[in-house]
Chain A
Amino acid sequence: MDFLKKNPSLPVFIAVLVIFTLVVTFLSEAYGTGALSTSFVKTLGKTLCLALVAIAMDLVWGYTGILSLGHFAFFGLGGYMIGMWLMYARTKIIVVESMVNAPIPPTPSEISDAIGSQIFGVVGSSDFPLVWSFAHSFWAQIALVVLVPGILALVFGWLAFRSRVTGVYLSILTQAMTLALSLYLFQNDSGLRGNNGLSGLQNLPGADAISQDNISIWFFWASAFALLLTYLIAAFVVSGKFGSVIRGIRDDEARVRFLGYSVEGFKLFVFTLTAILAAIGGALYYPQAGIINPAEIAPIASIYLAVWVAIGGRGRLYGAVIGAVFVSLVSTYFTGGQAPDINLGFYTIKWVDWWLVLLGLSFVLVTLFAPKGIGGLFDLVSGRLSPNRQGAPLGPDKGSLREEEAEQ
């Protein structure tokens, strides 16, 4: 009960999510009227995964104050890990089927060689690289979905926080990490098929008989469930004493350190936890998208993640969800060519071309005039208004109280 009192948004969020899931199910082609096409159900499922990673971003940025421009790298890594198993298992089924009519039954090493040349023929190789050692095992790859991004985040975070890289420096460093990772994966000899990436992920191995209509709604349910769990975890993390400490770190790191808290430990925990959450989101997202390639990990993707959270409203979990859902769905609407062109007489505005300009400018406007984002609208409803901060800061950090605020 205490937990619910601290998170008044939680019941509302759960209710909205459950209703949304039911509505989509009853409108889907598999279990309902068919008003929503399968591809749109997939889009909605992917959007839920993006909302999940946005919650992770909100935890690390909105609550802990670490503007990480690298969380989409963890998202992509999660996708790669599950993609390896999907691709291996499916190729194995195809290869075994094709060999069943051979006069002599194939040996295990012949099957493995055939799978290798199927998967890596596109990058001019046929041997399995070391990173594919566990690709045959579903549970091993599921473990790697958590372990690989988790360990990367742990090592990177430990190095960065230990040497007290903070603020914009940390942002640039995380961006560099993302860039390095995507450049590495772009190479053909990285072992993950270079810029071809992994493809055909929407076909679950052994599920050829089941139509994509059903698979899409299953993934939608899984994404909704994962989002719910993530929201619960995040709400739990930020509501207790732990939450107070990380908010303290966001507002004045030095003071929290002087109070005797291990700032580095708290930051490292949040950074690693959110990296794992992001990876789980990616592992659910890419089977719905069907393909993953290094371009998905490019630094720009992580910046968009920050954009969603900022537009939705930092420092509140439902804000991140709203931002991710709103911006990504509106983006899909405008870039998908469905939006009607506006004819100005002398020039026709094509939204495919102008949407990014609009997004960029509205993002600037939100940053300038509505730092609380869309989530701030709920404060107007609930009547919670923050004090008007003006004048010079009292404390050493940019986020500290201002003179006039203190006089009130």
Chain B
Amino acid sequence: MEFLLVQTLNGISYGLLLFMLSSGLTLVFSLMGVLNFAHASFYMLGAYFAYQVSTTIGFWPALAIAPVLVGAIGMLVERWGLRTVHRYGHVAELLFTFGLAYLIEEAVHLVWGRSSVEYRVPPDLDGPLFTIFTSQYPIYRGFMMLVSVAMLVSIWLVLTRTRIGLVIQAALTHPQTVEALGHNVPRVFMLVFGGGAALAGLAGVIGGNAFVTEPGMAAAVGPIIFVIVVVGGMGSLAGAFIASLLIGCMQTFAVSLDWSLAGITIAQAAPVLPYLLMVLLLIFRPKGLMGTREG
């Protein structure tokens, strides 16, 4: 019972972090048709920027500064890169972000070296939050959940309750009409791309010290968020939410179980599970969980 409760809480906090990543990816994909391969790289940049800022002025300023920086980089990338390749089609855009992911990883090697950096949980948030039966639940996990939920609620409010949110929603389905009504759709694209990058950056700030900040972190989390987007259904935010929680819980439970099957424990098989889920889903429900399009 205790095990179940603690693992569920851990799974949900990891799942929420994954959703912060996959929501930006999904929004950008459904708005611009661009699958941003460099999305996980923005997550990594967020973690490294936060590390750099927190060593000089502290964690709390980093929580605000790092996502803004990453968002600004995202906007620059959209304005000076993606918009140029847009005329060559979606494959060229995908390849551009793929090359960008290479470049960002190498730039991180260049500036911060090849081994992990010491990006620690701030002392204010270090320690137990509450005790379930005998095990203590860390404050930082609770803080992660709080930030993610606050972020989700504010995205939802922006998308449904503000003017710019309505323009974004309209541009999702009818970009020409929105443009005809006098809105600058390319600028909306730039804002959304930057916003998605900033979300990934924020996830990096709070995920970087909960896990490890190293140059391989983008390559480790990137495929997982793509799996989430496919499993949830391409372009569906609700689907991405369900799939994030599902995969978050699945991963956390799998690594801590030691039931074995044919000589392999579930913990050993954990890295394969998300991909296996994706393959099975594609065979039996090609649209994904909440997807609407089949193609």
Task: Report whether chain A binds chain B.
Answer: no
Residues of A whose CB lies within 8 Å of any CB of B are none
